[in-house]
Amino acid sequence: MKYLYNFYSQVDILNIMLLYTLLTLFILFFWKKYSKNFITSNYDGVQRIHKDKTEIPRMGGVLLYAGMIFCLFIEFDIEPWLNQEIKPILNLLLICNLPLFVIALREDIKYDVSAILRLIAIVLSSFIFIIFQPFGLPAIDIPFIGNYLSIPVVSIIIFTIAHAGYCNGMNLIDGANGLAGMVIFTTLLSIAIVSFILSDLAILYIALILISFIVIFLLFNYPWGSIFLGDSGAYLWGSVLASMTIMLYARNDVPTWGAVVFLFYPSIEMVFSVIRKKVQRKNPLHPDPDHLHLKLYFVIERSVKRARVANDLVMPMISIIWLTPALIIPWVFSDAVLSILAIIFLVFIYFGFYWALPSKNQKKDINDIRK
């Protein structure tokens, strides 16, 4: 507790938050004044629900990447050995995510990067992290086959796919004001709680720094929608959260099922979307309007008749899914059985919510029948 108090009582964290705020304001000013010089087309996808005709800056990735770079030049007022632990982790996160960040940023500006190229960049960044992170990989706690899955080559493949999948999952849920931001916030809070209980101070302090970043972002993102994460922000945040989770569980001897609890929502969205699109004979790489938050948006929008209000209501109305993991993780993370029960509980909540909502096409059919 002494280290935690010293960390937040010094001006370092305040300087980071101030710089992050100024950087956000600069990007908003720059975008408003100069974006027309390099924007060649407007973003338009079936999953877009933001109805403003002006193009909102999708620069959340730039903010996160710049914020982590700034942290490299700060000597936090904590024990020297902690500074020596934190800086290499930040360096690793910056270097391994460079391919992902560059390709996704191009998409945020030009909207001309193919889905397959983005996927390649994500997998490459995930693979670089898995190979070069120095803490090893967590054990896979599955009875009977866990030992086989922990064979180095197999483990590298599994964690690379899981890491890349979570990055994509974070992008899938980034469709309503504040939704992805609150998922990021509660996931970081879960990581901070678990690392605090386990006395893993390096992961704890990085989580606290990142919490200050996402809080500033949310002030501009919700409810006004002045800035979006974009592909670069969603992919980068997803990668950072997945990486921190892997490092946390690699550095500490606790059941890895707890990680599934606080990474639940983007993970289930990703897995279910791939299965659903395969069953529907759709390309899993192509967007569609049948994600949970979009189904909820269309239901709300039909009731309130105001797209902006409907957009802002999605995040709080879906809070049972993104908030529950952070509430239960302190009680279940250290016990595999409790973690598995928590996952089953979350699965029931997700699918109960999902199947209770009509799809966009179903609503059209209902309207046609009524006419």
Residues 30-35, mean pLDDT to the nearest whole number: 72
Torsional sign, CA 283, 284, 285, 288:
positive
The answer, yes or no, to whether residue 167 has pLDDT greater than 90, is yes
Q: Averaged over 100-124, what is the pLDDT?
A: 92
DSSP string, 60-113: HHHHHHHHHHHHHT---SS-HHHHHHHHHHHHHHHHHTHHHHHHHHHHHHHS--
Q: What is the largest CA-CA distance in the chain?
A: 71
pLDDT for 43 beyond 60: no
Residues, the chain, total?
Answer: 371
pLDDT on residue 324: 94
Question: What mean pLDDT comes out for the span 163-178?
Answer: 94
Confidence of residue 37 (pLDDT cuts 50, 70, 90): low
More confident residue, 98 or 26: 98
The residue ranges of every structural domain in the chain are: 2-36+54-272
Mean pLDDT of all residues in 198-211:
93
Residue 366 banded pLDDT, cuts 50, 70, 90: very low
Give residue 319's pLDDT.
Answer: 94
What's the rounded Cα separation, in Å, for the pair 185 and 181? 6
DSSP secondary structure of 7-60: HHHSHHHHHHHHHHHHHHHHHHHHHHHHGGGT--S----TT-----SSPPP--H
With 90 as the cut, is the pLDDT of residue 232 above it?
A: yes
* Residue 292 confidence (pLDDT): 92
* Reported confidence tier of residue 13, pLDDT bands at 50, 70, 90: confident
Residue 55 has pLDDT above 80, yes or no: no
The two structure tokens encoding residue 276:
């659903």
| pLDDT the model gives residue 371 | 39
253: tokens are 């001897």
Q: Whole-number mean pLDDT of the chain?
A: 86
Query: Residue 327 pLDDT more than 80?
Result: yes
Q: Which of 137, 163, 162, 161 is nearest to 150 (CA)?
A: 137
Whether 262 has a pLDDT exceeding 70, the answer reads yes
Q: pLDDT digit string (tens) for 343-364?
A: 999 999 999 999 999 876 655 5
Residue located via tokens 């996808």: 45
Residue 1 pLDDT exceeds 80: no
Render pLDDT for 286-319 as a digit per residue (tens, 0 to 9). 878 889 999 999 999 888 888 888 889 999 999 9
Report the predicted TM-score, pTM, of the whole model to 2 decimal places.
0.91
* Average pLDDT of the segment spanning 213-224: 90
Confidence of residue 65 (pLDDT cuts 50, 70, 90): very high
The whole-angstrom separation of Cα 294 and Cα 290 is 6
Please give the Cα distance from 255 to 272 (Å, whole number): 24
CA distance 333 to 260: 10
Instruction: Specify the pLDDT at position 75.
Output: 76
Cα separation of 159 and 135, whole Å?
14
Asked whether the beta carbons of 203 and 244 are under 8 A apart, the reply is yes
